[in-house]
Amino acid sequence: MPELPEVETVRRGLTPAMEGEVIARADVNRPDLRWPFPENMAERLTGKRVLRLRRRSKYILGDLSSGETLLIHLGMSGRMLISGDPLGQFVHDHPAPEKHDHVVFHMANGARVTFNDPRRFGAMDLMPTDGAEAHPLLAALGPEPLGNAFSESHLVAALKGRNTPVKSALLDQKIVAGLGNIYVCESLFRARIHPARKAGRISAARAGALVPIIRQVLTEAIDAGGSSLRDFRQADGELGYFQHNFDVYGREGAPCRTPGCTDTVRRIVQSGRSSFYCPTCQR
């Protein structure tokens, strides 16, 4: 599933084609994805101007001139693909429709934005812009890791006394929004913290030091266009490249990249997810 850097990369790719532009026509080609689409979705989108595209955790939010906000979740295999952008940001002509093109936005500027989702684990919804943060998918989310609310004091307090592994704690969206398996593994490696260490047993100094490390990892991933594993593509169809910079994720059995370390990357399974780490560097 795309994590925060991938979703932010897609949002940035959509901005020149959609933000400030009118949806001349919206085609909704099926009644549902993971959940049913909102009632009269095509009619509620057609003719509306996209005032702003923003991101909350792993969700893209489009504030519309109608006073509603479109929520988009990419799910496991969802892709937002742009073609025909008259601004010259994208070189692709409009492709022929494909089987899994479930929602298509025909923009008044000539761009076409297609939501393609073979596995149909993605989702879209419409809600009033005022109070959008109260939406059931957003209400319980913790602070954004790149925002000011995600501070050293916040993370230290959130981890204090917790008996769960630190890996599980950082995946808890109530503690910090948008982190997923890949970037937690990478952050814990840089922080030299074992993924199975109990969160409550990590000192305040080490817990606080995780904050700038998490921000650095996410920023580097966004700058690289995210990580392309399986289905992920940027909005212009290009791959992300951060996977080439992984220190531990997916590198089981490979040499540790820490200078002077002679150990190899190991893998354990935590709550059904693979955790990658160096047993020498991470304690």
Please enumerate in sequence order all residues whose Cβ is within 8 A of that of 198, keeping only pairs 6 or more positions apart, or say none: 162, 163, 164, 165, 166
Tell me how far CA of residue 215 lies from CA of 71, 98, 144, 221, 229, in angstroms: 25, 37, 10, 10, 21
Four-CA torsion 177, 181, 182, 185, nearest 10 degrees:
100
To the query of whether residue 201 is one of the catalytic residues in this protein, the response is no
Q: Shortest CA distance to 103 belongs to which of 36, 30, 20? A: 30
* Rounded Cα gap, residues 21 and 254, in angstroms: 48
To the query of whether residue 58 is one of the catalytic residues in this protein, the response is yes
Q: Which two tokens stand for residue 263?
A: 């150990």
Catalytic option among 56, 58, 112, 167: 58
Q: What one-letter code names the amino acid at 19?
A: E
* Distance, first Cα to last Cα, the chain: 28
Q: Shortest CA distance to 113 belongs to which of 1, 237, 223, 239? A: 237
**Contact assessment for residue 90 and residue 82, using Cβ atoms and an 8 Å cutoff:** yes
Q: Which two tokens stand for residue 9?
A: 């990369």
To the query of whether residue 39 is one of the catalytic residues in this protein, the response is no
Q: Tell me the β-bridge partners of 104.
A: 27, 114
Q: Which two tokens stand for residue 111?
A: 């761009």
Please enumerate in sequence order all residues whose Cβ is within 8 A of that of 203, keeping only pairs 6 or more positions apart, or say none: none
Residues with a catalytic annotation lie at 2-3, 58, 273
